[in-house]
Chain A
Amino acid sequence: MENGPERFEGRKLGILVTDGSDAGILKALKAALDKAGATFEIIAPKVTGAKASDGSWIDADQMIDGGPSVLYDAVALLPAADAMGDLLLESSARDFLADAFAHCKFIGYVDAALPLFEKAGIASDDFDEGCISIASAKAAKSFVDGLAKLRVWEREPHVKMP
């Protein structure tokens, strides 16, 4: 860990989207990842994809069942508020976040995703430096820049018994 690579190059971000996901934030994430030499996969409730906030279509790589967060180095949660009712019913969406948190991964989120944290057993005072709001394109870019650390090992004592 001490001699870690300090780069996200060659790594992969898992981006969870729903209908209504913010197209601008998604675009900013993709651009920042591309610049970092990193890749991403889009995870949506249905593998056909989702319709973004600006009406454009987001092709999905995985449906939520097929793209658990263990397959990614970090995750970003971009659900729209209207889609949260369904997402909160879906246990694999809960696992997606709960596992990412348990595995000390960086988690970028928009405010609409906050109820999923509660569902995943992550209380507001559990939030740490690895839980990062990406409410704007600018925040999304700085989230990706911070991924070079790869994991939030400081979290581990809070998610593993000694």
Chain B
Amino acid sequence: MAKTTKSTRVTARTVTIHDQKLERGEGGELHQTASGKASVLTTAQGGPVSDDQNSLKVGPRGPTLLEDFHFREKIFHFDHERIPERVVHARGYAAHGFFETYKSLAKYTKADLFQRAGEKTPAFVRFSTVAGSKGSVDLARDVRGFAVKLYTQEGNWDIVGNNIPVFFIQDAIKFPDLIHAVKEEPDSAFPQAQSAHDNFWDFISLTPESMHMVMWVMSDRAIPRSFRFMEGFGVHTFRLVNTKNESTFVKFHWKPKLGLQSVVWNEAVKINGADPDFHRRDLWTAIKTGNFPEWELQLQLFDQDFADKFEFDVLDPTKIIPEEILPPVPVGRLVLDRMPDNFFAETEQVAFMTQNVPPGIDFSNDPLLQGRNFSYLDTQLKRLGSPNFTHIPINAPKCPFAHFQQDGHMAMRNPIGRVNYQPNSFGEGPRESPQRGFTPFPEVVEGEKRRLRAESFADHYSQARQFFISQTAGEQSHIAAALTFELSKVKIPAIRERMVSHLLNIDETLASKVADNSACRRCRNLPMQPCPRVRISILPQP
């Protein structure tokens, strides 16, 4: 066989392109070759690559050869770079940091991270919009996700919250409808990342439980100036459970050290054109220049007695407990001090799940929370493609862990030894611990099996009104202007009218202002019939 040392490149001339020295191939293409400190390019199998500018052909103008494994592998991998974007909260941005406990909360919870003053727990926080796709603009009028993953010594704890303390719906069974309605319409595929269209307001106008949330999402909070200037909320009522198995209800609040700040709508629209990554750039720049954003974790703590006396149901995620009635208590601080090295590896692959709670944190029966606890595993499997998504470093616990789950796609961390079950008689492998393990609060629950909404969930307007009247005159006019704008994009007059009739139950001045300004020519001055406080029948509704 003929022996050759000839380069695959027929001839190569060194050329200077301004400040760069490269080699020029036969077709005028430029080659940067390995020399000095530059490492040698390889395939994913580790094989060194001689030429990354030209595929393998028969003659310079001939067809490309199937045997060109480097080309095949390169294109193959490129074609598979995308994973499904999140079905909601697709547009997000995240940072690393830590949570520091101020003082022991052992009185309320056995959660390990709350036992010692000064304890620092690693954290990863992802902010997001809800409706828009991964490439949508940052300043959409929308709720912002505020998802916090705390890598505690007893497992990951995810507080998967929002920048608004309430939600549109009371039961997770309505979530697909809500999201279908707000996302682009299925036939036209527009408008994206906007609630200002017929489908959204049609659904909302037929969903009176959303009215409180509508007031918040039409407020300045839905167009924040920066992730750094937003509050965060756990939304639902949770439980803290101590070593004596005593439960305290809790609502989680994140308060930004630099205060709340929003932009105005006309400004938001222009920011979206001038810098669609406005919030990303802001967080990136702040952290990269050492201006670490900080939030204080504050808890609203209450017992069953308070819950029973409170005029709204603490299990209803469309209601808040006003801070004037129950002042939140500061318990720690969250500092974000490091951007991910790679967006995909961490921000895109991070898997938040409401059901990730350590011992000492427990759920309430909030039907939205219960549904979320069920849903998140499915979404991670769909998006990340394997039950081994916990092997991805950003999702792996940072505490010791051991179990017998094995195999599956892309298993990165595999057990060693013969035992992969228990009980076993080899004295190998991990075992359950009634002392340290998660035990749910032993709440007594009974009742008939029915599809029923609790009557205690039926007041949809009082807190919407309370929120509206709590706002300054300027903020109230922003809410009116936002509603007017949104409804001005609604083509069907009946939908606008329906919304105005809801608003009449919230605030008459607001309703008439929106009616006047949104060209609601035929608006009847009739409030929407609120749900009667006492229902006559408990048969399946309505």
Contacts and interface: CB of A to CB of B under 8 A. Distances in A.
A and B from one complex: yes
A5 B229 contact: yes
Interface string A2-36: 11111101110000000000000000000000000
Nearest to A73: B225
21 contacts: A1-B475, A4-B259, A4-B260, A5-B229, A5-B258, A5-B259, A5-B261, A6-B259, A10-B228, A11-B261, A37-B291, A68-B270, A68-B274, A70-B270, A71-B278, A99-B266, A103-B263, A103-B264, A103-B266, A104-B264, A160-B477
A9 B264 contact: no
B286 interface: yes
In the A-B complex, the 8 residue pairs with the closest CB atoms: A5-B259, A70-B270, A103-B267, A10-B258, A153-B474, A70-B271, A70-B267, A68-B274
B474 A9 contact: no
Given A1-B220, A5-B260, 5 more contacts: A10-B291, A68-B270, A68-B274, A70-B267, A70-B274
Contacts of A162: 477, 513
A156 interface: yes
Given A5-B260, A6-B259, A99 B270 contact: yes
A2 B472 contact: yes
Interface SS of B by simple majority? helix
A7 B258 contact: yes
Give the interface size class of chain A: 20 to 34
Interface SS of A by simple majority? loop
Contacts of B270: 68, 70, 99
Contacts of B228: 10
Nearest to B271: A70
Interface of A: 1-7, 9-11, 37, 39, 66, 68, 70-71, 73, 99, 102-104, 150, 153, 156, 160, 162
Interface string B463-483: 000000000101101000100
Nearest to A3: B260
Contacts of B259: 3-7
Nearest to B475: A1
Contacts of B264: 103-104
A7 to B, nearest CB: 7
B68 interface: no
Contacts of A156: 474, 477
A36 B275 CA distance: 25
A73 to B, nearest CB: 7
A9 B274 contact: no
Contacts of B263: 70, 103
A5 B267 CA distance: 20
Contacts of A3: 259-260
Nearest to B256: A5
Interface string B275-301: 100100000011001010100000000
Given A37-B291, A99-B267, A103-B267, A9 B472 contact: no
B254 to A, nearest CB: 15
A134 B286 CA distance: 27
Given A1-B475, A71-B271, A102 B291 contact: no
A1 B472 contact: yes
Nearest to B278: A71
Given A1-B474, A1-B475, A71-B274, A10 B266 contact: no
B156 to A, nearest CB: 29
Nearest to B258: A10
Contacts of A7: 258-259
B87 to A, nearest CB: 31
A103 B220 CA distance: 13
A66 B267 CA distance: 15
A102 to B, nearest CB: 6
A89 to B, nearest CB: 21
Contacts of A160: 477, 481
Nearest to A4: B259
